[in-house]
Structures are given as C-alpha cells and as structure tokens.
Chains A and B, each alone.
Chain A
Amino acid sequence: MTLVLDKVQVSIEGVRVLRGVSCEIVERKTTILIGRNGAGKTTTLRAIMGLLALDGGDIRLDGDDLRKHPAHYRARAGIGYAPEDRRLVPEMTIEENIRLPGLALNLDKGELNGRLEEIYTFLPQLRDLRKRPGGGVSGGQGKMVALGRALMVARKVLLLDEPFQGLAPALALDYARTLGELRKHRPELALLITESTPALLDAIADRTLQIERGEISEQAGSPRTENVAV
C-alpha cells in the first residue's frame, strides 16, 4: 500500500500554498511531517482528503487516481483523517460520532460493532464519554474522538493533523502512548502525522519530512529512519 503525492500544487484564495509537494506514505511506517505554521501541513492533508482542488500534480492510492473521486470517497478507500479542529457533529453523541463513518459506508452491524470495540480498546476514555454530545467535550477529549472516528475507516492510511496542538501535557503524553499502542495493534497502517513541535513523536517516527513554504524537503535529519519500523 502506498499513497503517492506527486508535485501537488494547491492554491487557497488565489495564493499558492503548496508548490509541488512530492512524497510517499507507505504501509507499516509512521511518517512525521514537520513545519512551521503556514508552511502547508494542513493544506497537504486537506488536499489528500479531496477538500481542496489541485492546481497540478497527482495523488494516488495504490495507483488509484484520487483526483477523479469526490471527497467522501477517501473514507471508502480506507483513509481516515483526524483534523486539528476536530470537526465533530455537536448534536450527536460521542458514540454516534465515532459510528458515523461506519454508517455512511454502510458497514454491516457486526463489522461496525467490531471496529467500535477495537477503538474503545485503544481509547478507553472514549467509552466513558460515549453518551456525551459531540458539542459537550473539551478540546483535548474532542481530539481523541476525532482519532476514534478516523480509526473507524482507516484501513490503509491514517492522517493526524497536529494531534498535540492545544493538549494539556498529561493528555499529550496519553495521546502519544495511544499512538504507540496503535502502531503495535495495527502494524499495517500507514501513518502521517503533522506537527510543529515534533519532540513527542521522536519515539514513534520512522521517517521525518520537513515542509517549508509549500515544498517538502527530504528527511530533515532523522537518523533512526527505517529501522524502527515494527
């Protein structure tokens, strides 16, 4: 499984934000995309998710040209995305939020409940929150819910946008530990995590890419590349 970005160019409101981003996100690897605010991290993820039109370049998942498909196809193709700003449905409960992608994909009941149980095993705190409305959890809790929702569909690729942004230190450690667990339980997943302060991710990163002014430069000095893969 490989997700390929090939010279991806994206403009927002007429301003070129990505100027030819190329990289490969491969299975069994955790790739960290670091860069300052405004460098284009979120835009890269949104382009993968089909939320922004490309000016040029290609995005392919195992040779399947994602440009041809509407945004919601990504979930069907096995790409889960937990956005930095969470994007929960406020009047649905936490559990309904997590189940929502399963519903949209028309998963059969057994499969859906199985995935839900698996998510609750990784993220036991979600089980305690499950009856709360999506609009009634804190920002940090909301990040966990967004991760849970992304895991419902992430059969191949999981994209996490600044998972530690705005988390209390204890919660951030918790989240980092969860990501470590996830690596063990779901070794096949390709993980792409963006971060502006990558300290917490050092332990789980297989590769580090740096994005600067809309261009990705190859591995910004990450000595432990490749061999940490589980």
Chain B
Amino acid sequence: MSGIDVDLAVNGLITGVFYALMAIGLSLIFGILKIVNFAHGEFYMVGAYAYTLIALALGVPVWIALPLAFVVGALLGWLTERTLMRPLYAGYTSWGLMRDEYAVIVTFGLSLFLINFVDKVIGPYAYRGPPLVETSRVVLGPVLISGHRLLAAGIAIAVIAVTAALIKWSFWGQQIRAVSQNRLGASLAGIDTAKASVIVFMLSGGLAAFAGALLSPVINASPDVGIFPAIKSYIIVVLGGMGSVPGAIIASLFLGVIESFGAVYISFQYRDAFGLILLMLFLLFRPQGLFGEKGREV
C-alpha cells in the first residue's frame, strides 16, 4: 500500500464517520416506525445553519454553538414526532394501523417546506461555518488533512461511540431495540412505544444536525445542502440492513472508503454514483443488507 492509498483510506474512513452520524438516525427511525424519513437531510441543513448563525450572527463560541446545533435538531425532531408522526399510531390505542403512504407524503412535504422556508427567511446564499480550529494542514505520515476535519472526525467518533453504547445498554436504548424488533411484543411488555419513538426522533434529529454543524466549514450551509447527505444515508441504510445500527456504521465507513478510492482510481466526476451502483448490486443480490434480516419479527 503506497502513501497515497493510506491517505485515501484514512480520508475515506473520515468521510464514512460523518455519513454514519446521518445514517444511524435514519436507521433508528426506520427501525422503530418502519418508515423512511424523507426530511432527514433537512435536519442536517438546519444543524448547519444553527451552528453557523449561532456562531457568526450571535458571536457565540464554536464550542457552545456545536452542542446547541444538536439541541436545535433534537427539538425539531421532537416537534416533528409530536405533530406529524402521531397519526401513524393514532392516539395510542389503535395499534398496528400504520399508513405507509402517509409517512412518505408527510416527510416529503416537511422536506420541501423546510428547504423553502429557509430559502425565504434566511435567503438562498451559502454561509460558511466557522472551523473549530484554524490549522489548515496536519501531516500524519502520508496522510494530509485539515485541522478542522481531523478534530471534527474525532468528535464524531466519540458521539457515535456514546450513541451506540446508549442504544446497547441504556434503559431507553434497550426498550427502543425491543420496539424496533417487535412493536406489539414491546407494548405487551409495558414499554411506552410512543415515548420510544419521541426519543428516537430527537436523537436522530440531533445527530443529523450535529453532522451538518461539523461539516458546515467544509460544505457551506445552504437551503438544499441536506439533499446529498440524505441520499447517501438512504443508500447506507439499505447496504447496512434496514434498521440495523451496527450495519449503518459499517456501511458508512465502507461507502466512504469506496468513494475515496473510486474518485482517484476510477473517476472523480462519478464519485457520487458509486454508492448508487452499490445500492443496485445489493438490491439485486443481498436485499437484506449486511446485517438486516429478511424477517425480523418473531
């Protein structure tokens, strides 16, 4: 492996870490409500704006603006769940009457609304978020990387590790896993499935917003900035297995590396197409994804 390959691998993994911040939330929402949140990219967008505007317009230090972006995303997630997702399991009692088309239309509508709302209220211009550190180049052996990207990746890894640990071991994490694997069984066991879905939406919104904030110095905040990260997340969630969090993390890193090498060895222009090609191959030959199961309910 030559120096450039090491550089590509490391940078690909770092890209993958940011993808994972997005994909985990999407996967959790799919797991718990069996819906695809088509507004997921707009949580990323809102986080990018929240961080940038809080830091630049209000003059708040970046280390405070960053967690605030998570909070803004989580609040938007809470609002979305309470107002738009509740009809999916209307008033607690009529369990099981999931209306798939409702979720598609309402989340797609939310996506369009948020894009246009930001476009009208804040404006169509791109804002560059302030970097966490000004160091423009860090050299680690053959690896060349900006100080901000390195630091942001470190923070993202820490946040992913904490999230994974919470889902695996915490009081609500265990209950969320139970609901996503068997909703009715979880309800019989006394688990408040509505509360579980609120927590998942808050966590998912917070993580996506956090990703947007971390990347805003690299990819400027603009009303449609969330579209590409969202598409990548949809691909990753299918590759990893719908609803599987470890699958989403591994598929994120995998896609990051593939894109990194593909951009250099195959074609830079087709960089964003590699994921879609992978998606098609998986749908043809392994539709359950890396970690998904064909039938999770027992």
Contact = CB atoms under 8 A, between A and B. Distances in A.
> Do these two chains interact?
yes
A83 B298 contact: no
Given A53-B94, A71-B93, 12 more contacts: A52-B95, A71-B187, A75-B188, A83-B185, A88-B298, A90-B181, A90-B298, A100-B178, A100-B189, A100-B191, A104-B191, A149-B189
A104 B190 contact: yes
B177 interface: yes
Interface in A40-66: 49-54
Nearest to A69: B92
A81 to B, nearest CB: 5
Contacts of A81: 188
Given A70-B93, A71-B92, A90-B297, A104 B184 contact: no
Contact of B93 (A50, A96, A106): A50
Interface in B162-220: 171, 174-175, 177-178, 181-182, 184-194
A142 interface: yes
Interface of B: 91-96, 171, 174-175, 177-178, 181-182, 184-194, 293, 296-298
Interface residues on A, range: 35 or more
Top 7 nearest A-B pairs (CB, nearest first) are A75-B190, A87-B185, A70-B92, A101-B189, A104-B190, A53-B93, A53-B94
Interface of A: 49-54, 67, 70-72, 74-76, 81, 83, 86-92, 96, 100-101, 103-106, 134-135, 142, 149-150, 152-153
Nearest to A149: B189
Contacts of B293: 90, 135
Nearest to A139: B298
A83 B184 contact: yes
